């Protein structure tokens, strides 16, 4: 996520709004992502994993916490909410790089 924060200006120039989704409560999300980590893009709190389930991103019973969490994923949605591109992985250390997302956005119809 830090790499997305560092490249926010490039996303803005490309007309892409970066939004993160957290399994934490709104208060926890605000504390950890905004106040402590310093992210300036929007975060949505999804403690019941409702949206995360809709996108089939639940990682059940994560080893460290034993709780259901979200798998790493990046999506490009058009203004109607239709998914136009996605990268989903089982490996928590493999995420899309900002350059990959920006390149993918260039290939999408306007």
CA distances in angstroms from 72 to 1, 89, 91, 98, 105, listed in the order given = 10, 6, 8, 14, 19
Residue 47, pLDDT score: 92
At 70-89, the pLDDT tens digits run: 888 999 998 888 889 999 88
Quick one: CA dihedral 95, 99, 103, 105, positive or negative?
positive
For residue 65, being part of any structural domain is answered with yes
Nearest alpha-carbon partner for 108 in 81, 80, 76: 76
Domain limits at 77? 2-103
For residue 97, being part of any structural domain is answered with yes
Identify the weakest region by mean pLDDT among 2-11, 43-52, 53-62: 53-62
Task: Specify the number of domains making up the chain.
Answer: 1
Nearest alpha-carbon partner for 8 in 36, 37, 42, 33: 42
For residue 109, being part of any structural domain is answered with no
- In this prediction, residues 38-53 reach a mean pLDDT of 92
For residue 10, being part of any structural domain is answered with yes
CATH number of the domain that 16 lies in?
A: 3.40.30.10
The predicted model scores a pTM of 0.80
């Amino acid at each position: 996520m830090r790499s997305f924060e560092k490249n926010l200006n490039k996303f803005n120039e490309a007309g892409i709004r970066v939004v993160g989704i957290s399994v934490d409560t709104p208060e926890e999300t605000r504390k950890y992502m905004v106040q402590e980590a310093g992210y300036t893009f929007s975060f949505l709190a999804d403690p019941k994993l409702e949206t995360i389930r809709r996108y089939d991103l639940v990682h059940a019973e994560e080893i460290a916490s034993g709780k259901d969490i979200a798998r790493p994923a990046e999506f490009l949605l058009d203004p109607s909410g239709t998914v136009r591109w996605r990268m989903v992985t089982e490996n928590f250390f493999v995420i899309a790089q900002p350059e990959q997302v920006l390149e993918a956005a260039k290939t999408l119809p306007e």
